[in-house]
């Protein structure tokens, strides 16, 4: 509209007053800009009428253009400001959550599993292209470098239950692990290992568990050839897409009514139909296929197999009349 107005004004002065192009263009600009300069040449009556119309239209168009420009700039900044404040408030509300550092192929899969559970989490990412994908996926995220103390503090690391470091660089994973362990000594840290030997460095840095996707992927593919039925069963039991059978772990809090009872007296399988596959003792020892005389102690973790509804019933029985039993971080 502004370009059309300038073109029309220049052509009008050239036709009405017979001015050369530069004089007509200059007169149009100072008229639309309302700078108050005098006319380039004396105007005829027709020229004066044309100038009046040019001023009316010029002021209107120029005012509209400036107002839209200011509105666009202000609204963009205001929306970004509100967006940041909304994210900060959402993160401040998180308690016992997980911090996922990196939203690549592995990180995005982890987030999908967390969301399906659901488990509260926040992603830390600084790649602009990945951030666009985070916004499209509507995932709670914080833009920043996970190796910096300030970023992890903003992500609520003091209140977090665990941290998952799955950036592509092993060096960054080591730095993230060191930083996280220094900020929260009780944090459970799971780190990704890509290169051989980096798992030792990650454990030295403070990681509770180190996972190599390439090692797991290769092992799973080999097992799919050697023991295909076993792999199918594990995928059914551990995959969230299979709703008829699930394998789950259930933490026994310190004031559970089943403390001190054995499996036979507790009658967990009889009452729920769930199979107790194993018991991880508070000491870390794993008891596979526990017998009927196996005792249930405080802070043990039951590894169970059964239908999701039955597992939910068992969870309610284990935590019955328990006001605040907190599960371990591993």
Question: pLDDT 10s digit of each residue in the chain, 330 long?
Answer: 888 888 988 898 888 888 889 888 888 888 877 776 778 888 888 888 888 888 888 888 878 887 877 776 666 566 666 667 777 888 889 999 999 999 998 999 999 989 988 899 999 999 988 988 988 888 999 989 999 999 999 999 999 999 999 998 899 999 999 999 999 999 999 999 988 888 899 999 999 999 988 888 888 889 888 888 887 777 776 766 656 778 888 899 888 888 889 988 888 888 888 989 899 998 888 998 898 889 999 889 999 988 888 888 888 888 774 444 444 444
List the one residue out of 147, 209, 148 whose CA is nearest residue 175.
Answer: 147
CA distance 184 to 176: 12
In whole angstroms, give the CA distance from residue 101 to residue 134.
13
pLDDT given at position 101: 95
pLDDT of the residue at 245:
78
Instruction: Residue 138: count other Cβ atoms within 10 Å of its Cβ.
Output: 8
For residue 147, give every residue at least 6 positions away whose Cβ sits within 8 Å of its Cβ, in sequence order, or none. 172, 175, 176, 179
Helical pair 128-137 and 105-116, crossing angle rounded to 10 deg:
20
Cα 236 to Cα 231, 276, 306: the distances in Å are 9, 17, 11
Coil/strand/helix, residue 274: coil
Helices (H), 17-44: 21-32
Query: Pairing relation of β-strands 121-125 and 98-101?
Result: parallel
Using only C-alpha atoms, the chain has a radius of gyration, in whole angstroms, of 34
Which domains, ranges and CATH numbers included, belong to the chain?
Answer: 2-87 (1.10.287.70), 94-216 (3.40.50.720), 241-318 (3.30.70.1450)
Q: Which residues of 44-65 are buried (b: 16+ CB within 10 A; e: fewer)?
A: eeebeebbeebeebbeebbeee
Q: What is the pLDDT at residue 323?
A: 42
Residue of 166, 186, 185, 154 whose CA lies nearest to 100: 166
| Distance between CA atoms of residues 7 and 318, nearest Å | 81
In terms of DSSP H, where are the helices of 206-299?
213-226, 228-238, 263-266, 268-272
Q: What is the predicted pLDDT for the residue at 181?
A: 95
Q: Is pTM, for the whole model, over 0.85?
A: no
Q: What separation in angstroms does the CA of 29 have from each of 10, 12, 51, 162? A: 9, 13, 11, 64
The pLDDT score that the predictor gives to residue 326 is: 46
């Amino acid at each position: 509209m502004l370009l059309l107005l300038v073109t029309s004004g220049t052509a009008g002065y050239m036709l009405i007053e017979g001015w050369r192009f530069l004089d007509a263009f200059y007169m149009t600009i100072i008229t639309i800009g309302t700078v108050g300069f005098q006319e380039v040449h004396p105007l005829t009556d027709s020229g004066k009428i044309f100038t009046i119309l040019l001023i009316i239209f010029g002021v209107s168009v120029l005012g509209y253009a400036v107002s839209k420009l200011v509105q666009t700039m202000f609204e963009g900044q205001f929306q970004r400001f509100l967006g940041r404040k909304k994210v900060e408030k959402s993160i401040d509300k998180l308690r016992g959550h997980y911090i996922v550092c990196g939203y690549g192929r592995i990180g995005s899969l982890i987030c999908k599993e967390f969301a399906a559970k659901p488990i509260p989490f926040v992603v830390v990412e600084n790649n602009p292209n990945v951030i666009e994908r985070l916004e499209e996926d509507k995932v709670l995220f914080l833009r920043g470098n996970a190796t910096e103390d300030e970023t992890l503090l903003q992500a609520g690391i003091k209140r977090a239950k665990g941290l998952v470091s799955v950036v592509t660089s092993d060096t960054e994973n080591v730095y993230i692990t060191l930083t996280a362990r220094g900020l929260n000594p009780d944090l459970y840290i799971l780190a990704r290992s890509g290169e051989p030997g980096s798992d030792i460095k990650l454990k030295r840095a403070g990681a509770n568990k180190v996972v190599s996707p390439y090692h797991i992927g290769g092992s799973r593919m080999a097992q799919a050839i050697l023991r295909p039925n076993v792999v199918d069963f594990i995928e059914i039991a551990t995959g969230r897409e299979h709703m008829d059978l699930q394998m789950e772990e259930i933490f026994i809090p310190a004031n559970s009514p089943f403390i001190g009872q054995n499996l036979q007296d507790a009658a967990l399988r009889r009452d729920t139909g769930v199979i107790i596959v194993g018991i991880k003792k508070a000491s870390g020892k794993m008891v596979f296929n526990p017998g009927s005389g196996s005792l249930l102690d405080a802070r043990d973790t039951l590894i169970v197999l059964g239908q999701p509804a039955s597992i939910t019933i068992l969870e309610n029985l284990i935590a019955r009349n328990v006001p605040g039993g907190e599960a371990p971080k591993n």
